[in-house]
Structure 1
């Protein structure tokens, strides 16, 4: 089993409430919150812009926001000794931003992310989408995204002190209720 970090993983399907749950956990931490957004803004995509605006509108005004589309490991290390709670939303977008990487480079990035979390004393809350509950994507890039994100969350889960699943209007603590896989 992997060494546990103080990180918390919140996962679930689209529109499940995972970001809202992660935001509640961050607010309840009693610490200043550093919101680490992985999304890249696209002024030509009105729907994407509306989603980003909705996330911003929910956050308290005193939360600092950093836009970090690809260098999560660097940002976690930079704030490893911080008094702030780091809320990273979302790993799915981070994976999508790095799809052009070959498999070896991708695995190195995953290892760097896991290492940065293992060496971080600041609380970290990670939001990740569940994508593998539907049909197998018909295109290679879709399968690559699904497999990389699924593999990443499987690697993260055993390292986290808590793993929550948001689905059907409820949140389950998987680390407490579930049995870890080897």
Structure 2
């Protein structure tokens, strides 16, 4: 007897979407959040440090539905996640690598390690759906300076830690999603 197949998969509790700059990762994350059918909270980690970054943030704001809640937090991601996540909520985190860069630039001793450890311990306990977006920065040359190498190492480690706990991991390239782990996407 052949078991019945189910064309409809339950969305995973935690999704990690990775890709390069302009790969389509943000649009995919926004689509998955919208398709969840749940109220959405957009947790933004970016800071408008220059005109170009301000324009990027504005483009993201204009694309988002008006009924999505917005939390802007560049450093305290685990604490905000703990407060924002509920069983009937979808939280979209945009983006892990900007959060990591913000932590690298903070002068508070030990903050980076504390925030990373807090996120690790919090992930298995988060209710609802969480979608993390991150830039895959380690597919090119090894950087020539120590800060850039440290950043790449930290980003790779952070992505691996989240991917190990995520129910779905997707890599986006040229606007095309490639599911690396978990159930397939319902449409592209």
Tell me the TM-score normalised to structure 1 length.
0.87
Structure 1 residue 70: deviation in Å?
Answer: 0.5
SS at the partner of 1:98?
Answer: helix
Within 5 Å, which residues of 2 pair with 1:40-79? 40-42=47-49, 45-79=50-84
Counterpart of 1:111 in structure 2 is 117
Structure 2 gap ranges (5+): 1-11, 184-188
1:17 paired with 2:54, answer: no
d(CA) in 2 for partners of 1:23 and 1:169?
A: 13
Q: Contact 1:76–1:117 (CA<8 Å) still a contact in 2?
A: no
- Look up the match of 2:33: 26
The aligned counterpart of 1:180 is none
Shift of 1:49: 0.9
Deviates further, 7-16 or 110-119 = 110-119
Q: What residue is the counterpart of 1:128 in the other structure?
A: 134
Q: Is the 8 A contact 1:35 1:64 kept in 2?
A: yes
CA offset digits 1:107-154 (Å, max 9, x no partner): 332221022221111210000110011111111111111111111001
State the aligned residue count. 171
* Alpha-carbon RMSD: 1.9
Distance 1:170 1:48, change over 3 A: same
> 31, 35, 47: which is aligned to 2:42?
35
Higher Cα Rg: structure 1 or 2? 2
Instruction: Tell me the residue number matched to 2:162.
Output: 156
With normalisation by structure 2, the TM-score equals: 0.85
